[in-house]
Each structure stands twice: as structure tokens, then as C-alpha cells.
Amino acid sequence: MFSVEDAPFKLTKEMVDVMGGVGSSGYTRFRGCLVEGFVALQKYHSEISALLQTTGQHSPFPCFNGAKLGRIVADLRTRLCVGCSRQEIRHRVDYLLRKSYNAWGTRQFLFSCAVPDLLMCNLLVLPMEPRKLHARVIPYCCAL
């Protein structure tokens, strides 16, 4: 399956603006919560791995197709930062934040989802100059 979305998680500029911007106390708190989340995940990595092992055996889920279960579990341990120091976790969180913040793929994905919905609802107004395309998005307007 093809996707332009390659960010570790969705972190738009608007989300960071609500926190007060990069470097703000809100953003710093968010970063700290991510670090603490990874620390908490380390405590339960055995249980999480066991659930993955159980789910993955003879699974119909596409994420397990063509992959060795042992490799998937090992990759999960790496993503959970199992065995990493708090400093290493901070570095990993900083990397994830940099890769996720205002990612090109996220913007393209959101644009590709929003425009058809807005066109269907007759809410998208194109400006005179296409290079300055801007639309205010009203999410899920057709789902009312």
C-alpha cells in the first residue's frame, strides 16, 4: 500500500502553535511527557511483546504477512527503546519530534483528504491565484 505519510506520528504546525510553539513551555512539557511515556513503556515491554507474539501467530492482519514474527518483535523492542538510558530516550524523542513536526507527507495526506470532502460539501473556494491556495477546513462537514 502506497502512502505519502512517513512521519512517525502526526504533529502539525497548528498543533505545536497551540502548545505555544517550538521551545515554549507547553512544547517542552509535551516533549517531557513523550520521554516519560517511553520510560513507562519500558516497564511493560515484556507484556507488550507477549501480546504481539500471541496476536502475530497465524494472524490474518496484513502487517504480519511476509514478515518473521521474531523480527517484528525485535523491531518493536527497538521502537520502545528497551534497554535505553533516559538520555538515549530523550535523543530518540527529539528525533521523532523533528521528523514528525510539520512533515511534508502529513501536509500532503491531510490536503488529499480534505479537498475531496470540501468539494463534495461545496465549501472549498479557490482563490484567483492558484499558487496561493488556502482553504479553511471544516472537518467531517458531510458526516452531520
pLDDT band at 61 (very low <50, low <70, confident <90, very high): confident
Residue 12 clears pLDDT 50, i.e. is over it = yes
Task: With CA atoms as reference, report the closest residue to 72 among 105, 48, 107, 42.
Answer: 48
pLDDT of residue 19: 94
| Cα–Cα distance measured from residue 101 to residue 29, given in angstroms and rounded to the nearest whole number | 16
Cell numbers for 17: 502553535
Q: Which CATH class is domain 9-102?
A: mainly alpha
pLDDT of residue 137: 42
Q: What pTM does this model have?
A: 0.64
pLDDT of residue 132: 45
Residue 17 clears pLDDT 70, i.e. is over it = yes
Residue 98 clears pLDDT 80, i.e. is over it = yes
| Cα–Cα distance measured from residue 2 to residue 115, given in angstroms and rounded to the nearest whole number | 19
Residues of the chain with CATH 1.10.1070.11: 9-102
